[in-house]
Structure 1
Amino acid sequence: METITDSTLVDWLYNRFVEAVRNDDYRKIFIYEDVLHQINNLLPSGRKYTAMKKRAKAHLKEILKASKGGALKKLHYTGAEFTADFNRIIEAYEKELHNTDFDEETINYLLNIKKETYGND
């Protein structure tokens, strides 16, 4: 059984927020954002909750920055879900490049560019 850490819970909430944004589920968007605020504001201060509060505050800062810039849809998952999502997108892009009949050198070059600029497109 997997051990749940403080950051795992906060990351899970953030990932559900990102998922709700991608699905345009406004009810869930407000719920997950509110839970992150509650973690940040209502947990007692002390060593036990410091990491959780710090992580929640960082995610809330990302959300605020993205919403002010109109880029909520560009938020990415975090943790293991980010890795799975990243690999899925890169594999789909590689398959798309193979279907367009590029040579291997060009495909590798374009894949490297995509990996380096992931999230900025």
Structure 2
Amino acid sequence: MIRTSSSIKVNGQQSKKNIIEAAREFFSEYGYLGVSMSDIATRLNITKAALYYHFAGKAEIFKNVLDEAFAELSQALNRARDEKTPEKKLENLIKAYLKFGAKEKNLTKALVLKLAPHDAKITGH
């Protein structure tokens, strides 16, 4: 079977999605410093070279994980803003933050507490 460029592109996009999903689980469980490229590769049953084909390194994977996580938070906050009363808006905003914090506690801790100043390139600040 001959693979077309569009099927390769779709497979590449799916591979990146799978990497980000697996990495997110690891980062959420163990934090940034507790995860290695080997951990992610082993989880996906691929080589580290396959990871490096899609991402420059762990920092880039982490940035993609953060982008995805904070996009989800942003969507939840936007839904909360659609409420009619200020009380309901505030209630739903708080719930969205708490739900995000509970689900991603180690991910946010890794971002806030464990990244060294030289890792600012990850967060874009």
* Same fold by TM-score greater than 0.5: no
Q: Which has the higher contact order (CA 8 A, sep 6+)?
A: 2
- Give the TM-score range, shorter chain: 0.3 to 0.5
**Normalised by the size of structure 1, how large is the TM-score?**
0.37
